Amino acid sequence: MGYVSIPRNEHTISRKEISENALKVLHRLNKQGYEAYLVGGCIRDLILGKTPKDFDITTNATPEQIQKLFRNCRLVGRRFRLAHIMFGKEIIEVATFRGDHASQEGQTNISKRSQSGMLLRDNVYGTIEQDAIRRDFTMNALYYSINDFTLRDYCGGLKDLQKGIIRLIGDPQTRYREDPVRMLRTVRFAAKLNMAIEPATAEPIKYLAPLLKNIPSARLFDESLKLLQAGNGYKTYELLREYCLFEQLFPIIGRFFTNNQNGYLEKIIAQALKNTDYRIANNKRVNPAFLFAAFFWYPIIEQTQATCVESGLPFHDSFSMTINEVLSEQCKNIAIPRRFTSTMGDIWRLQLRMKKREGKRAFVILEHPKFRAAYDLLEMRASIEKGELLELAKWWDEFQYSSVEKRILMVKQLNKINKRKVKR
């Protein structure tokens, strides 16, 4: 397999933009007689004028050979054996060239596939040419050499990058079956980089989307954060819906979407994602617990109401039961950690408690650690539902920023209003 060699004067990558620690690793591997290149996302980002979050290296040295060269190295992963070279907080990931599965003779601990074609283990080592073919997208098969500062392009990735095209290497159906998460990556890169998905790459996604059920739920949780909490959440959500991927990640939510796509559920998901994107753009903290609390609020309310009718239980009992059922079912698809589900439960329960403000209740609620997140959800709901909820959100907005004296007065006024209602 040939490649196009792009000299330094024809590409924009400069050593000044590369991590010093990555350069150290490249130089040491080269000095010991190994091939070593910067590859993948860091090259893509440098070409696009973005600052890479991390720097990945690929080499013909095996993980064990890499470990012998670096005392600060640890080997990780069973499915893909990798070397992590630690420089304080920075980790330089080094992978051995991936090989062709058709030529595995003499290798141990190599590869294994499931019946659906998914790769369960992939430790087949090979040449740089084989490694390029094994990569997912053409734009990620660009290799930078520190020896002569050239860029090697094996799959036409530079042209695709310049034209704004996301293109899988090889047969899309086969590649998606090898790793169904590639469907999520396709959508994520299209949203993140504002690029178009090449037709042949897009075509199989809708009918192969159910393969995501074969992916471990813990891995899908990590992927969900990359999709929805990386600054392009709303645009990613639109693509996930377009390619029938969102319902695979959140099947409970999918059951409650309306035919006209304009119900309270669709509106709150869109608003929550736009707010998250805004916070990330302004370097503010985001918490997946709040985002998921917003996602599931209306399904929980609808399911609670149905449980009330079916079982005859009081609303609060049905509400608690529904929360447990929804979280249990959702975690089969995306394993949301307990530290987040606990916060989600607090946010949901506070939605009910915030309606009752008489006596000391409002003061107790205000001191709750999750009050601010619960108020934000209340405010978001009010902007969608309007009516009495707007008045409630307005009251809590004023209450939380008032002096103690003003708060006491607000509660007294509320008590008087409620007494009048009872007399009527």
| Rama region for 90: left / alpha / beta (φ>0; ψ in -120 to 50; rest) | beta
The mean pLDDT value for 288-305 works out to: 96
The answer on pLDDT for 314 being more than 70 is yes
Distances (CA, A) of 399 to 309, 366, 408, 412: 36, 9, 9, 12
pLDDT number for residue 2: 81
Give the whole-angstrom CA distance, residue 142 versus residue 43. Answer: 7
By residue count, the chain amounts to 424
- Separation of alpha carbons 183 and 409, rounded Å: 56
The CATH class given to the 1-163 domain equals alpha beta
Q: Give the pLDDT of residue 112.
A: 54
Instruction: For the chain, give the longest Cα–Cα distance.
Output: 91
Q: What is the pLDDT of residue 108?
A: 46
| Amino acid 78: pLDDT | 76
- Mean pLDDT for the chain? 92
Query: Long-range pairs for 49-53 at CB < 8 Å and ≥24 separation?
Result: 49/12, 51/17
Q: What is the pLDDT of residue 420?
A: 61
- Phi first, then psi, for residue 284 (nearest 5°) are -100, 155
pLDDT, residue 105, reads: 46
In angstroms, rounded to a whole number, what is the distance separating the alpha carbons of residues 217 and 74? 26
- 282-423 maps to CATH 1.10.3090.10: yes
Task: Determine the Cα angle at 137 with ends 10 and 128, to 5°.
Answer: 70
CA 133 to CA 169: how far, in whole Å? 6
User: Residue holding tokens 């000095």?
Assistant: 31
Rounded distance between C-alpha atoms, residue 3 and residue 6, angstroms: 9
* Numbered ranges of CATH 1.10.3090.10 in the chain: 282-423
Fold type of domain 169-249 = Hydrophobic Seed Protein (1.10.110)
Nearest to 250 by CA among 269, 264, 234, 278: 269
Q: How many CB atoms lie within 10 A of CB 361?
A: 14
| Domain span(s) for CATH 1.10.110.30 in the chain | 169-249
- Please state which of the ranges 9-23, 60-74, 120-134 shows the lowest mean pLDDT: 120-134
pLDDT above 50: residue 122: yes
Indicate whether 422 pLDDT > 60. no
pLDDT at site 93: 97
Whether the Cβ atoms of residue 173 and residue 57 lie closer than 8 Å to each other: no
Predicted local confidence at residue 107, as pLDDT: 47
CA dist., res. 51 & res. 45, Å (int): 6
Q: Residue 417 has what pLDDT?
A: 73
Mean per-residue pLDDT for 283-306?
96
Q: Please, where in the chain does CATH 3.30.460.10 lie?
A: 1-163
SS3 for 368-396 is CCCHHHHHHHHHHHHHHHCCHHHHHHHHH
Question: 113 vs 314, which has greater pLDDT?
Answer: 314
- Provide the total of helices (H) and of strands (E) in the chain, helices listed first: 21, 12
- pTM (predicted TM-score): 0.89
The mean per-residue pLDDT over the stretch 370-393 comes to 96
Per DSSP, which regions of 257-415 are E strands?
none
The confidence band for 113, taking pLDDT boundaries of 50, 70 and 90, is low
Token pair, residue 295, equals 């996602």
3-state secondary structure (DSSP) of residue 91:
strand
Indicate if the pLDDT at residue 251 is higher than 80.
Answer: yes
Active site amino acids = 54, 56, 136
Give 164-206 pLDDT, tens digit per residue.
999 999 999 999 999 999 999 999 999 999 999 999 999 999 9
What percent of the chain has a predicted confidence (pLDDT) above 90? 86
Alpha helices in 40-94 (DSSP H): 41-47, 63-69
| Residue 109: per-residue pLDDT | 45
